[in-house]
Structure 1
Amino acid sequence: MSGICGYFRQDGRHIEEQVFADMLFLLERQGPDDQAYWQNGSVALGHTLLKTTRESEHEAQPSTLDGKTWLTADARIDGRVELIAKLHSKDVTVSQSVTDDHLILHAYAVWGADCLEHLIGDFAFILWDEKQKQLFCATDHMGVSPLYSAQVRGGFLVSNNLTAIRAHPQISNVLNEQAIGDYLMFRLNFTPDSTSFRDIKKLPAGHSIIVNQDTMRMQQYWSVPKPDYKRRTQAQYLEEFGSLFKQSVADRMRTDSIGTHLSGGMDSTSITAMLAELRNEGGANDVNAYTHAPPIGRPNLEQPYAEAIAQKLNIPLRVFNGKDRVLANDIDGIADLPPEPSFAQRESPRFKIFADSASKSSSF
């Protein structure tokens, strides 16, 4: 995902340029395709670009439509056809190839903070509104794209990378004992707005935050809706699910080459089958599947099923085995260190799968 960061001096002073440069440096790994920043006295936004869609080939962030509202975003906006139609109904003309960051800017220009009622997908963004003199930040409904923040003397820091927040000298290394305890006992953090560090907060899923010179206000814009049960036939349920499933997969097919994990189980098999169907309809030039074989001595339950499915769907399959673990010498400096503990093992096959998939999808 692309790297984003923002620094707002609420006391009106100019930001410390070296601190902001350090934040951007720690985001370079996330955005190897381009790095840029925008600064106006007491506020600065930074962006390191990772191109993941055809439209992102034309992104130039931080971005603006009018020189007054600036945005840095890590976003894949889904339901683009419907959103563009809504904008057209408001006399806003945008093309079908509009970049995701410009979609967010257009939505904000029309609906203000209520734009979140019209955005779906995986996104985290930081927006500076010069007219209101405030930051407006949000993360998506499920919190797929994270957003971290911290209050420092006279200022506010925000980024989708926890390590970038720690670049500020006022951010201590003091741990959050409650979060560490939750991790050790339950493998998860029961407090959605906390992190492993006392000074750094995480924006919960489906929340936004507005920061101006005097206040900082967080609010929830979405929660899981109560089910609205309707009497339907089995055929109607199947038809609706099939339509939604196809659209959700299609929304993620915005490159000419697609990589997918294929374990041989029901979930990944269903997704891979839909990718093959959409490929045959012209949604992508090719689809590549990957599966992970365990080290020798452990039962290999997935590979035979994955191979049978790939053959049936006429999809190339690469198998990566887990016999070689990546040890400490694979960690290349502080930017490669995970900011918080995780039970996920650092194995070379996982990174090789990502690297191979990225190399095949490098051209849009």
Structure 2
Amino acid sequence: MCGIAGLVRYDGGTPSAVERVIAMRERQRHRGPDGDGLWHDAVAALAHNRLALLDTDGGSQPMRSADGRYVLVYNGEIYNHAALRRELAAHWPFRTRCDSEVVLAAYAAWGGACVHRFNGMFAFFVWDTERRRGFAARDRLGIKPFVYRQADGELLFASEAKAILAAMPGAPRADIGAVTEYLVAPFFSGVARPMFADMDYLAPGHALHVDQDGVRVDRWSVDPSPADTTMAWEDGVEAMRQHLARAVERTLVADAPVGLFLSGGLDSTLIGALAVRAGMSPQAFTIAFAGHDRYDYATSLIVGSDDQPFAEAAATALGLSRVDVMPSREDFGDSLRAVALQNDALPAWEQELAQHHLAQAAAGRVKAVMVGDAADETHFGYHFLLDPQATRDPLHVLQRLTGDPYLRPGLLAHPLEHHAAGYRQLAADAGHRWDTAEDRVLATQWLVRHRWLQRLLHNGDIHGMAHGVEARVPFGDVDLLDFTATVPVRHALRGGVEKALLREAARGWLPETIRQRRKSALPKDQGVGEALRRHAHATLARHGEPVAAVMDLPRLLRRAADPRPLDEHERAVFYRACALSHWATAHEVRFA
């Protein structure tokens, strides 16, 4: 995992300000503490920050082909790079052992079609010096980021939106629509477009082309195979076991230590169990908060139980060494501000604080960690999929998880209904209906897969790379994804149990108490409600102006001054209001 940045003058002008590309590289130096590089010609300039996990000595970027024609900047891991290397070796004089050179060789051999050969996570840009054209692509799930801006005859791109700010003139403007979505539907936000105006995300599974005619974007990923309605339960279980084992084996390949974020839930424990079966013993990291064993989880929206006893049991059963990461509540305000500055898509939920502390702790011990992201979103893992009321319409999911967003009066009438209608249309445009019970489950699952998952993956990347730690996603393995797409709903939710087929595939690999444990989100510190209220009161009183552009600041201040305990929805509102204030203040964001 690394950071990439670049500038292309597609109007034929000279990128005279190479310093702008260097400024982007420096803004995201945290993504690549092991080295950096710069290359430019008369039209393009490319920069790279490197986190070295393969071939530490030989994988520097920007990487140029032996004939000098192609120049690559790349971020990610191609897990089948060894097989591709063997296929390409007869036509390419490999000089390194790293997967970056495989990406470069694959593009030289197959052009943009190379992306169909990759199993892994990636965002890369290749510049063709001979034909003066560039090609960029992003993996099908969007695990690796790619942000770009086109204006005035030039293309800017980077791994993080805030890096592009370093190459833009003047203070940035907020994208009011994106910020509003963040407040109304945080778990679906920050992935359709950046929070900063005049930028775009290259969508997952899409490619970007730039030449003298300008910039165009198209989709390269294909729709998954339809569900196999004839699949026998036993056959599905066996196939799932085989795909899971291979997926984890692939993500273990590295020249540096690979750890594990272990919650004691089904997904992370399953990854740990399969890593052990593959002969590895990753160091595990678990977030722990004081007093969580005394909290009444029956009142929680998405955190269903305390991770600590389950993580301890999982590590013991698997023989893994474990690090308990225990943040100090005294540092809560500083941590919230740090997370707000790290996440240029704006922190969506308090659990991002846990990601921040986990990555910070892992950074001194490993360079990569395996995470359970994408399991719930591709294996029907959310409780509300089993609730006919919740799946009737996206509005019911928003009402359950968001509540009152405290929007500024007059900003948007009926905000939950407005965004729910948009999400329903997105699913309909993708071919989903809301007619039968199964239709509604599939439509809701599609939204979870295409919006919620992208936000989770963005957060995993941004908080890990803030500390120079790569997040590896075994459940994003291409072969596993292709198989999972064929699993019918009746198997995925068999017996009224979420992730039923995945759970059955895990039988015998991990303790039964963990295999049968219900979904529980990454925990947040239930004991910081009062600290959050005080932090919100102080923050909004000092730096409330940007918040007032989109939120009801007088109402927020009145509630922040009220010593009554915040309920869960109120906590979420104040967390996002504080994050918005810190983000806007630090980046000097304009809201007009």
TM-score, length-normalised on structure 1?
0.87
- CA spacing shift, 1:139–1:239, aligned 2, 3 Å: same
The correspondence of residues 283-362 of structure 1 with structure 2, limited to 5 A, is 284=280, 286-296=281-291, 298-299=294-295, 301-324=306-329, 326-327=331-332, 329=334, 337-345=342-350, 350-361=355-366
Would you tell me which structure has more helix in proportion to its own residues? 2
What is the aligned partner in structure 2 of residue 262 from structure 1?
A: 262
Return the letter of the residue paired with 1:58: G
Deviation at 1:269, TM superposition (A): 1.2
- CA spacing shift, 1:267–1:330, aligned 2, 3 Å: closer
* 1:52-92 deviation per Cα after TM superposition (whole angstroms, max 9, x unaligned): x233553110001221100001120022344334435xx33
What is the aligned partner in structure 2 of residue 167 from structure 1?
A: 166
Q: Distance in 2 between matches of 1:333 and 1:42?
A: 37
CA contact (8 A) 2:3 2:159 kept: yes
The correspondence of residues 95-244 of structure 1 with structure 2, limited to 5 A, is 98-170=97-169, 173-189=172-188, 193-227=192-226, 229=228, 231-244=230-243
Kindly indicate whether structure 1 or structure 2 has the higher relative contact order, using CA contacts under 8 Å at least 6 residues apart.
2
Deviation at 1:333, TM superposition (A): 9.4
CA contact (8 A) 1:75 1:121 kept: yes
Secondary structure of 1:128's match?
A: strand
* 1:131-159 deviation per Cα after TM superposition (whole angstroms, max 9, x unaligned): 22111111111001010000132211011
More off after superposition, 207-216 vs 168-177: 168-177
CA contact (8 A) 1:326 1:346 kept: no
Deviation at 1:94, TM superposition (A): 6.9
Return the letter of the residue paired with 2:115: L
CA contact (8 A) 2:339 2:353 kept: no
More off after superposition, 76-85 vs 349-358: 349-358
Q: Distance in 2 between matches of 1:170 and 1:38?
A: 23
- CA spacing shift, 1:168–1:95, aligned 2, 3 Å: closer
Return the letter of the residue paired with 2:201: K
Secondary structure of 1:315's match?
A: coil
Q: What CA RMSD, in Å, does the superposition of the two structures yield over aligned residues?
A: 2.9
Deviation at 1:20, TM superposition (A): 1.9
CA contact (8 A) 2:262 2:286 kept: yes
What is the aligned partner in structure 2 of residue 251 from structure 1?
A: 250
Secondary structure of 2:317's match?
A: helix
Return the letter of the residue paired with 2:157: V
Q: Distance in 2 between matches of 1:131 and 1:318?
A: 51
Deviation at 1:46, TM superposition (A): 0.1
What is the aligned partner in structure 2 of residue 92 from structure 1?
A: 91
Q: Distance in 1 between matches of 2:28 and 2:14?
A: 22
CA contact (8 A) 2:161 2:196 kept: no
Q: Distance in 2 between matches of 1:63 and 1:186?
A: 40
Q: Distance in 1 between matches of 2:232 and 2:83?
A: 27
* 1:9-31 deviation per Cα after TM superposition (whole angstroms, max 9, x unaligned): 12323221222221121021111
Return the letter of the residue paired with 2:78: I
Q: How many residues are paired up?
A: 355
Q: Distance in 2 between matches of 1:43 and 1:171?
A: 23
Q: Distance in 2 between matches of 1:190 and 1:352?
A: 23
Return the letter of the residue paired with 1:247: R
Deviation at 1:202, TM superposition (A): 0.5
Q: Distance in 2 between matches of 1:343 and 1:120?
A: 29
- CA spacing shift, 1:273–1:94, aligned 2, 3 Å: farther
Residue 46 (structure 1) aligned with residue 47 (structure 2): yes
- CA spacing shift, 1:316–1:59, aligned 2, 3 Å: same
Deviation at 1:49, TM superposition (A): 0.5
Secondary structure of 1:73's match?
A: strand
Deviation at 1:167, TM superposition (A): 1.4
Return the letter of the residue paired with 1:75: G
Deviation at 1:346, TM superposition (A): 7.9
Larger radius of gyration: 2
- CA spacing shift, 1:276–1:234, aligned 2, 3 Å: same
CA contact (8 A) 1:84 1:96 kept: no
Residue 33 (structure 1) aligned with residue 38 (structure 2): no
Q: Distance in 1 between matches of 2:30 and 2:340?
A: 7
Secondary structure of 2:282's match?
A: strand
* 1:297-326 deviation per Cα after TM superposition (whole angstroms, max 9, x unaligned): 553722112112211211111212344364
Q: Distance in 1 between matches of 2:29 and 2:103?
A: 23
What is the aligned partner in structure 2 of residue 80 from structure 1?
A: 81
CA contact (8 A) 2:10 2:214 kept: no
Would you tell me which structure has more strand in proportion to its own residues? 1
What is the aligned partner in structure 1 of residue 560 from structure 2?
A: none
Deviation at 1:114, TM superposition (A): 1.0
Q: Distance in 1 between matches of 2:276 and 2:122?
A: 26
Deviation at 1:242, TM superposition (A): 1.6
- CA spacing shift, 1:328–1:346, aligned 2, 3 Å: farther
- CA spacing shift, 1:327–1:17, aligned 2, 3 Å: farther
Q: Distance in 2 between matches of 1:313 and 1:327?
A: 33
Deviation at 1:183, TM superposition (A): 1.0
Q: Distance in 2 between matches of 1:262 and 1:209?
A: 36
Q: Distance in 2 between matches of 1:322 and 1:333?
A: 14
Return the letter of the residue paired with 2:44: V
Stretches of structure 1 that go unaligned for 5 or more consecutive residues are none
Q: Distance in 1 between matches of 2:350 and 2:284?
A: 22
Q: Distance in 2 between matches of 1:184 and 1:206?
A: 27
Q: Distance in 2 between matches of 1:304 and 1:331?
A: 26
Q: Distance in 2 between matches of 1:94 and 1:234?
A: 47
Deviation at 1:343, TM superposition (A): 2.0
Q: Distance in 2 between matches of 1:96 and 1:253?
A: 23
Q: Distance in 1 between matches of 2:271 and 2:290?
A: 26
Stretches of structure 2 that go unaligned for 5 or more consecutive residues are 296-304, 369-592
**Percentage of pairs with the same residue:** 25
Q: Distance in 1 between matches of 2:311 and 2:242?
A: 25
CA contact (8 A) 2:195 2:345 kept: yes
- CA spacing shift, 1:180–1:103, aligned 2, 3 Å: same
Deviation at 1:352, TM superposition (A): 4.4
CA contact (8 A) 2:59 2:96 kept: no
